[in-house]
């Protein structure tokens, strides 16, 4: 018999599209998730942790064909069941809400944090496993639930270190879009194709600008390469209605020119009289419209006026406007003004997916991207209301609303603002001058640890002392402890300030270093106290 | 064309063998992982988080056959690569240690926490996804690294709330077993089959007892059903050597009867003279052997004597004994005596897998199991030295040692000792008497939250007030806030003590409740202060 072939060595490679996280990358995310969980918890949300694996049947949307499931999820067949890795945290919530519907409180506020997996083609910055951090309220039909999530999102961003003024939460409503489509003559089953083209067109507002979108709403658009994309075939007036909804900047300017029609009919008495009084009776609003720079606190009132004017002939549209006004009122009563949360008709993202209010958190400070362009940091969280969550399973409609925070993007934002160090402070390293004294060295680290100091003994081959200091450098260690035969005999240890040492090496000529020696000799019994003193001094000189 | 068939509703079910974790189950695990991470971090270990997915090639051991991989892992084919969910945290560490070997510090101390997946048949208490929490040192050949991990494991157990005396960390060594096998005449390539039978037999010591194992070491064993298992075919003397190693209880008694041969030849001078002096010259040890109840601090010395005596003719065996003595000495110098960490030849688990020291943390308090039997809680963590970690990838041998904590078992242990509540305290619930005043209710919860009080407004249908109180009960809420038109008019709110209310409902006749009303009326402006006062009172009366 031939001898078995030797198996070739396996490749040591992270699978394509996946990542490894080291040191501070892990601790910083863990800390951020803890800060987020604290806010969610204070708002009455309970944690839920489902497993990474679901049946393909329960996940929905992705169903297996003959021998391989559709793109989008990682799936496999297991004892005649198709199983898959979850692609978000909402699908498992839907399954849980249906499965435990008799045991869970209703409304059910839950948060969930963990990895999700997407079977996408790997590309730069696109990963196949990433963290999501969601909070959802299931079973609450009132927009008070949406307002609550917006307030919570605001508190959350500040809790993790995003300063007020550096973010804004924008709120829009799918029902208003439906009203706009209705007003534009795009209601009805026969217009579904046109509505699809319109939704895809406005999704490109950022990239193509108003003129590009206008072309796509009309006959179509030829791009720079000469390729032609067929449009929705709207006439100018129809396209204008759509654009007045999304192009909020232009609409705001037009508001000043045209004034607002005050004859709107609304159910809510207070608001009706407010609207009836009209823009002329509201000098503050007048002022805001004239001078948008000073109009921050009037932003939400202006947007609601504008939307009501736009969809006043559509009952679904006006329902959406009323919901937006209720959200703005609830938030304003709790002190969340337009400096944090704004009604913004230009929010496009998620409008196709959600059924009511949608919200998006955007970081407004500027960063320089890979191509050297300065731009706003952009979106870090989004969500909205989706009322068919549990229906797939039970046939019963259950209202739900929720938000998902992009954990990795939010971490990147904190790095961009300089609020997170990229490097952890390493441990104090006790070097090994004499292998036979290992018990003495381990006793030193035990004393340091018991005093709360991160510390370790060098456990590599101690023969080359230079290697031990190189190791300490690689660990980003603040201090090295040195003790050989002489020191033990005299009852002393050497404490080496590695941070000062590195600074001195860089600026060897500076006078100021002269009276701060980078290495001191102390009594063995003072080891812990002297190390703590040096660490405190290092922290002071770095802050 | 026929109309498309309606898809049947999907089943809302957790996939077989998987679990959902709710509320306190999640927060308690999160808190425990944080406490563990703090200890690991203080010891100089750095976090590493790899993704849940690895290539089957890198995971090793499990290779795909024609169109489906072996049992044990969940795997699938993806663009001609086989991918799989990791089955532990050690295999990904091996891949990382090889992949980043030029960038990582050496030695590399890392910890990792996260879910792992096993493709096992689901059964009671056996899950296909569970948490592991590992710490490993890669690139440190010295047993000082093993000693460090044992000390860290001890600190970790105490940090999560296991009291000293309620646990013990047992240490054994694969090299001593190799020495024992050699002494028993089982060395050499031709004895591999017999060695396998011996290893499997001693793994059953707990279940079969000494006599059962003795039969398996000899000709074989007939079990109660009459089935015969062929034995290793050892003669009585050979079997006796094996049993003297594992049956430490009997060996300890025999030690007293026989005394210890003091003529052992060892390299280390100190130890040699100590051994040479023998048991008769060590009155403390004599006393310990005579009276095992008082011999706690002598346990390790006794075990080492015993092992040295057993394997003195095997050089690999004596190397193992020396390693155990070094570990015991290092730990004892740092104050970790046999009340926490013991040398224990009866540790079997892991001996087949590891190459040097093995260690196991056992909780020694008693619990009543599902069948009503009182037994020790048992093992919650284990580990050891394995020196072929990176070799699979690079061909280079890299020494490594590490421990894995069974997170779910450790949590179960804390519950068994009554150290964890099964229920979270719920939020203060602000009830809704008047839907139009939602902004007022949300302002109340905002005030409470800003004062750090977990609070929420009821967001279900407010029509039936009883449902609101049932909801608060289901949430385990300590307090309900009630305010309707009357209260708003008078500028007051009602604060209802739900915990006192529940106690009163259970013990309605008790006199003591009389002067503690379960519902109080306070000024709206005092809401936050009064809620805090009531919460503090509840905590006091519960502790």
Of B18, B53, B105, the CB nearest to A471: B105
What percentage of chain A carries pLDDT values higher than 70?
85
Residue B33, annotated as binding a ligand: no
Angle subtended at Cα B316 by Cα B312 and Cα B320, rounded to the nearest 5 degrees = 85
Query: What is the C-alpha separation between A56 and A77, in angstroms, rounded?
Result: 10
* Contact status, residue B317 vs residue B178, Cβ threshold 8 Å: yes
Residue to mutate among A5, A44, A67, with most B CBs inside 10 A, is A44
> Residue A154's pLDDT is what?
97
Query: Are the Cβ atoms of B99 and A27 closer than 8 angstroms?
Result: no
Residue A15 confidence class, pLDDT cut points 50, 70, 90 = very high
Query: What is the C-alpha separation between B350 and A78, in angstroms, rounded?
Result: 30
DSSP 8-class letter at B223? -
Q: Which has more pLDDT, B160 or A63? A: B160
> Residue B269's pLDDT is what?
44
Span A451-471, average pLDDT: 93
* Contact status, residue B409 vs residue B367, Cβ threshold 8 Å: no
Interface of B with A in 470-499 (CB under 8 A): 471, 474-475
* DSSP bridge partners of B523: B492
Closest CA to B264 of B170, B179, B171: B179
Span B504-509, average pLDDT: 64
Looking at the complex, does the CB of residue A329 fall below 8 Å from at least one CB of chain B?
A: yes
Residue A331 has pLDDT above 80, yes or no: yes
Query: What is the C-alpha separation between B425 and A370, in angstroms, rounded?
Result: 47
Angle subtended at Cα A334 by Cα A333 and Cα A335, rounded to the nearest 5 degrees = 90
Query: What is the C-alpha separation between B411 and B28, in angstroms, rounded?
Result: 8
Gyration radius of chain B's alpha carbons: 30
Query: What is the C-alpha separation between B177 and B31, in angstroms, rounded?
Result: 39
Of A96, A333, A454, the CB nearest to B44: A454
Residue B164, annotated as binding a ligand: no
Query: Are the Cβ atoms of A442 and B14 closer than 8 angstroms?
Result: no
Residue A509 has pLDDT above 80, yes or no: no
Query: What is the C-alpha separation between B363 and B160, in angstroms, rounded?
Result: 13
Dihedral sign for Cα atoms in the order A444, A445, A448, A451? negative
What is the ipTM metric for this complex?
0.87
Helix/strand/coil percentages in chain B, nearest 5? 45, 20, 35
Query: Are the Cβ atoms of A330 and B439 closer than 8 angstroms?
Result: yes
Residue A136, annotated as binding a ligand: yes
Chain A residue with the nearest C-alpha to that of B82: A15
Query: Are the Cβ atoms of A74 and B74 closer than 8 angstroms?
Result: no
Helix/strand/coil percentages in chain A, nearest 5? 45, 20, 35
Three-state SS for B331-347 is HHHCCCCCCCEEECCCC
Residue B482 has pLDDT above 90, yes or no: yes
* Contact status, residue B219 vs residue B235, Cβ threshold 8 Å: no
Span A377-405, average pLDDT: 91
- Give the contacts of A365 (CB within 8 A, at least 6 positions apart): A166, A376, A377, A416, A417
What percentage of chain A carries pLDDT values higher than 90?
51
Of B44, B51, B459, the CB nearest to A145: B459
Q: Which has more pLDDT, B500 or B102? A: B102
Looking at the complex, does the CB of residue A98 fall below 8 Å from at least one CB of chain B?
A: yes
- Residue B12 C-alpha, separation from nearest chain A C-alpha, in angstroms: 5
* Contact status, residue B193 vs residue B206, Cβ threshold 8 Å: no
Query: What is the C-alpha separation between A362 and A381, in angstroms, rounded?
Result: 7
Residue B500 confidence class, pLDDT cut points 50, 70, 90 = confident
Query: What is the C-alpha separation between B175 and B357, in angstroms, rounded?
Result: 8
* Contact status, residue A365 vs residue A377, Cβ threshold 8 Å: yes
Of A13, A393, A460, the CB nearest to B99: A13
Three-state SS for B148-161 is HHHHHHHHHHHHHC
Structure confidence by residue, pLDDT tens digits, A397-423: 999 999 999 999 999 898 888 777 666
- Pseudo-torsion of CA B204, B209, B210, B211, nearest 10°? -110
Query: What is the C-alpha separation between B99 and B88, in angstroms, rounded?
Result: 18
Gyration radius of chain A's alpha carbons: 30
> Residue B67's pLDDT is what?
42
Residue B4 confidence class, pLDDT cut points 50, 70, 90 = low
Q: Which has more pLDDT, A68 or B346? A: B346
Looking at the complex, does the CB of residue A431 fall below 8 Å from at least one CB of chain B?
A: no
Residue B366 confidence class, pLDDT cut points 50, 70, 90 = confident
Residue A211, annotated as binding a ligand: no
Query: What is the C-alpha separation between A518 and B466, in angstroms, rounded?
Result: 71
Q: Using a CB-CB distance cutoff of 8 angstroms, which residues of chain A are in contact with residue B333?
A: 439-440, 442-443
Structure confidence by residue, pLDDT tens digits, B379-418: 999 999 998 878 889 998 999 999 999 999 999 898 888 7
- Residue B19 C-alpha, separation from nearest chain A C-alpha, in angstroms: 6
* Contact status, residue A485 vs residue A434, Cβ threshold 8 Å: yes
Query: What is the C-alpha separation between A497 and A475, in angstroms, rounded?
Result: 14
- Pseudo-torsion of CA A118, A122, A124, A130, nearest 10°? 30
Highest mean pLDDT among A74-88, A292-306, B400-414: B400-414
One-character DSSP codes across B460-519:
S-TT-HHHHHHHHHHTT-SEEEE--HHHHHHTEEEEEEHHHHHHHHHSTT-GGGTTS-SE
Residue A64 has pLDDT above 60, yes or no: no
Span A384-392, average pLDDT: 87
DSSP 8-class letter at B204? T
Query: What is the C-alpha separation between B532 and B536, in angstroms, rounded?
Result: 6
Residue B28, annotated as binding a ligand: no
Residue B98 has pLDDT above 50, yes or no: yes
Closest CA to B318 of B329, B337, B331, B304: B304
Query: Are the Cβ atoms of A15 and B81 closer than 8 angstroms?
Result: yes
Residue A349, annotated as binding a ligand: yes
* Contact status, residue A197 vs residue A239, Cβ threshold 8 Å: no
Query: Are the Cβ atoms of B393 and A128 closer than 8 angstroms?
Result: no
Q: Which two tokens stand for residue B86?
A: 């990791």
* Contact status, residue A171 vs residue A435, Cβ threshold 8 Å: no
Beta-carbon contacts below 8 Å between A and B: 291
| Number of helical (H) and strand (E) elements in chain A, helices listed first | 20, 19
* DSSP bridge partners of B48: A22
Q: Which has more pLDDT, B433 or B8? A: B433
Structure confidence by residue, pLDDT tens digits, B36-73: 999 999 999 999 999 999 998 898 764 334 344 456 88
Residue B261 has pLDDT above 50, yes or no: no
Of A95, A129, A145, the CB nearest to B12: A95
- Residue B23 C-alpha, separation from nearest chain A C-alpha, in angstroms: 5
Query: Are the Cβ atoms of B12 and A43 closer than 8 angstroms?
Result: no
- Residue A417 C-alpha, separation from nearest chain B C-alpha, in angstroms: 24
Dihedral sign for Cα atoms in the order B271, B275, B277, B279? positive
Structure confidence by residue, pLDDT tens digits, B138-181: 999 999 999 999 999 999 999 999 999 999 999 999 999 999 99
Closest CA to A358 of A181, A141, A133, A146: A146
Q: Name the fold adopted by B24-50+86-186+234-416.
A: BirA Bifunctional Protein; domain 2 (3.30.930)
Query: Are the Cβ atoms of B109 and A456 closer than 8 angstroms?
Result: yes
Residue B118, annotated as binding a ligand: yes
Cis before B145? omega within 30 = no
Angle between helical axes of A24-42 and A407-416 (0-180°, round to 10): 110
Query: What is the C-alpha separation between A47 and B355, in angstroms, rounded?
Result: 41
Q: Which two tokens stand for residue B284?
A: 């403390």
Looking at the complex, does the CB of residue B333 fall below 8 Å from at least one CB of chain A?
A: yes
Q: Which two tokens stand for residue A150?
A: 């917006």
Looking at the complex, does the CB of residue A12 fall below 8 Å from at least one CB of chain B?
A: yes
DSSP 8-class letter at A124? T
* Contact status, residue A450 vs residue A510, Cβ threshold 8 Å: no
Q: Using a CB-CB distance cutoff of 8 angstroms, which residues of chain B are in contact with residue A446?
A: 151, 334-335
Residue to mutate among A91, A105, A141, A447, with most B CBs inside 10 A, is A105
> Residue B6's pLDDT is what?
63
Closest CA to A58 of A404, A391, A399, A392: A392
CATH architecture, domain defined by B428-542: 3-Layer(aba) Sandwich (3.40)
Q: Element (H or E) spanning A228, and its range?
A: strand A228-230
> Residue B71's pLDDT is what?
64
Q: Is B112 in a helix, a strand, or coil?
A: strand
Looking at the complex, does the CB of residue A46 fall below 8 Å from at least one CB of chain B?
A: yes
- Pseudo-torsion of CA B151, B153, B158, B161, nearest 10°? 180
Residue B344 has pLDDT above 60, yes or no: yes
Interface of A with B in 436-455 (CB under 8 A): 438-440, 442-443, 446, 449, 452-455
Query: What is the C-alpha separation between B123 and A93, in angstroms, rounded?
Result: 25
**In A369-523, where does DSSP find H-type helix?**
391-394, 407-416, 438-450, 465-474, 485-490, 498-506
> Residue A266's pLDDT is what?
35
How many residues does the structure list for chain B?
543
Instruction: Report strand pairing: A357-368 vs A341-343.
Output: unpaired
Span B205-221, average pLDDT: 87
Q: Which has more pLDDT, A303 or A273? A: A303
Query: Are the Cβ atoms of A148 and B21 closer than 8 angstroms?
Result: no
Chain B residue with the nearest C-alpha to that of A447: B334
* Contact status, residue A135 vs residue A146, Cβ threshold 8 Å: no
- Residue B267 C-alpha, separation from nearest chain A C-alpha, in angstroms: 14
One-character DSSP codes across B251-278:
HHHHHHHH--------S-HHHHHHHHHT
By the 10 Å C-beta count (0-12 exposed, 13-18 middle, 19+ buried), A426 is classed as buried
Query: Are the Cβ atoms of A85 and B52 closer than 8 angstroms?
Result: yes
- Pseudo-torsion of CA B433, B434, B437, B443, nearest 10°? 10
Residue A285 confidence class, pLDDT cut points 50, 70, 90 = low
Interface of A with B in 56-85 (CB under 8 A): 57-58, 60, 74-76, 78, 81, 83, 85
Q: Using a CB-CB distance cutoff of 8 angstroms, which residues of chain A are in contact with residue B145?
A: 459
Residue B79, annotated as binding a ligand: no
- Residue B334 C-alpha, separation from nearest chain A C-alpha, in angstroms: 5
Residue A308 has pLDDT above 90, yes or no: no
Q: Which has more pLDDT, B193 or B432? A: B432
Q: Is A202 in a helix, a strand, or coil?
A: helix
Q: Which has more pLDDT, A386 or B1? A: A386
Residue to mutate among A4, A6, A22, with most B CBs inside 10 A, is A22
Query: Are the Cβ atoms of A52 and B55 closer than 8 angstroms?
Result: no
Of A52, A60, A474, the CB nearest to B105: A474
Residue B479 confidence class, pLDDT cut points 50, 70, 90 = very high
**Mean pLDDT, chain A, as a whole number?**
85
Sort residue A12 into left (φ over 0), alpha (ψ -120 to 50) or beta. beta
Q: Which two tokens stand for residue A111?
A: 């948060």
Instruction: Domain ranges for chain A, please list them.
Output: 161-348, 428-542
Query: Are the Cβ atoms of B12 and A455 closer than 8 angstroms?
Result: no
Span B523-538, average pLDDT: 95
Q: Could you list the beta-strand ranges (E) of B328-476.
A: 341-343, 357-368, 374-385, 400-406, 428-430, 455-457
Query: What is the C-alpha separation between B230 and B217, in angstroms, rounded?
Result: 9
Span A211-219, average pLDDT: 90
Query: Are the Cβ atoms of A471 and B438 closer than 8 angstroms?
Result: no
Q: Which has more pLDDT, B16 or A202? A: B16
Chain B residue with the nearest C-alpha to that of A37: B27
Residue appearing with tokens 């391989």: A68
Span B439-466, average pLDDT: 94
Residue A269 has pLDDT above 50, yes or no: no
Chain B residue with the nearest C-alpha to that of A423: B46
Residue A448 confidence class, pLDDT cut points 50, 70, 90 = very high
A97-101, B4-8, B488-492, B525-529: which has the minimum mean pLDDT?
B4-8
Residue A297 has pLDDT above 80, yes or no: no
> Residue A503's pLDDT is what?
73
- Residue B380 C-alpha, separation from nearest chain A C-alpha, in angstroms: 22
- Residue A376 C-alpha, separation from nearest chain B C-alpha, in angstroms: 30
> Residue B155's pLDDT is what?
97
Structure confidence by residue, pLDDT tens digits, A463-482: 888 899 999 999 999 999 99
Residue A89, annotated as binding a ligand: yes
A291-300, B313-322, B336-345: which has the minimum mean pLDDT?
A291-300
């Amino acid at each position: 018999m031939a001898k078995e072939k030797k198996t070739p060595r396996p490749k040591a490679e992270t699978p394509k599209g996946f990542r490894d996280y080291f040191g501070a990358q892990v601790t910083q995310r863990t800390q951020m998730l803890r800060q987020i969980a604290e806010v969610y918890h204070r708002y009455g949300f309970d944690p839920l942790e489902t497993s990474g694996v679901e049946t393909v049947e329960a996940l929905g949307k992705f169903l297996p064909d003959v021998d391989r499931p559709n793109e989008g999820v990682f799936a496999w067949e297991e004892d005649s069941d198709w199983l898959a890795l979850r692609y978000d945290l909402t699908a498992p919530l839907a399954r849980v809400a249906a499965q435990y519907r008799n045991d869970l409180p209703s409304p059910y506020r839950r948060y969930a944090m963990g990895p999700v997996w997407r079977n996408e083609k790997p590309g730069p910055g696109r990963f196949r496993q990433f963290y999501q951090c969601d909070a959802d309220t299931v079973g609450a039909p009132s927009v008070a639930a949406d307002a609550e999530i917006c307030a919570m999102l605001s508190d959350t961003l500040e809790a993790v270190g995003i300063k007020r003024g550096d973010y804004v939460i924008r709120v829009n409503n799918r029902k208003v879009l439906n009203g706009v489509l209705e007003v534009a003559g795009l209601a009805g089953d026969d217009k579904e194709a046109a509505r699809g083209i319109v939704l895809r067109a406005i999704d490109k507002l950022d990239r193509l600008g108003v003129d590009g979108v206008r072309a796509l709403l009309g006959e179509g658009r030829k791009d720079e390469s000469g390729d032609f994309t067929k449009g929705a075939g709207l006439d100018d007036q129809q396209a204008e209605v759509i654009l007045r909804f999304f192009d909020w900047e232009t609409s705001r300017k037009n508001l000043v020119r045209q004034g607002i029609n005050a004859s709107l009919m609304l159910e809510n008495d207070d608001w009706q009289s407010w609207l009836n009084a009209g823009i002329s009776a509201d000098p503050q609003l007048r002022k805001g419209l004239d001078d948008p720079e000073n109009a921050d606190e009037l932003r939400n009132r202006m947007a609601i006026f504008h939307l009501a004017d736009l969809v006043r002939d559509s009952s679904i549209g006006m329902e959406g406007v009323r919901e937006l006004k209720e959200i703005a009122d609830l938030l304003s009563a709790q002190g969340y003004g337009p400096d944090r949360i704004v009604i913004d008709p230009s929010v496009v993202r998620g409008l196709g997916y959600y059924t009511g209010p949608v919200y998006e958190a955007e970081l407004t400070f500027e960063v320089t991207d890979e191509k050297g362009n300065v731009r706003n940091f952009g979106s870090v969280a989004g969500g909205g209301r989706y009322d068919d969550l549990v229906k797939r399973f039970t046939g019963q409609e259950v209202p739900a609303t929720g938000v998902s925070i992009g954990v990795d993007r939010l971490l990147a934002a904190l790095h961009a603002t300089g609020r997170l160090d990229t490097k952890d402070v390493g441990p104090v390293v006790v070097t090994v001058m004499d292998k036979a004294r290992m018990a003495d060295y381990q006793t030193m680290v035990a004393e340091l640890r018991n005093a709360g100091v991160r510390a370790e003994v060098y456990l590599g081959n101690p023969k080359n002392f230079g290697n031990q200091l190189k190791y300490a450098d690689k660990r980003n260690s603040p201090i090295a402890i040195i003790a050989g035969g002489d020191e033990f005999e005299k009852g002393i240890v050497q404490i080496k300030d590695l941070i000062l040492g590195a600074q001195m090496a860089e600026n060897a000529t500076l006078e100021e270093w002269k009276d701060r020696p980078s290495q001191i000799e102390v009594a063995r019994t003072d080891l812990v106290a002297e190390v703590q003193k040096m660490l405190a001094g290092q922290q002071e000189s770095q802050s």
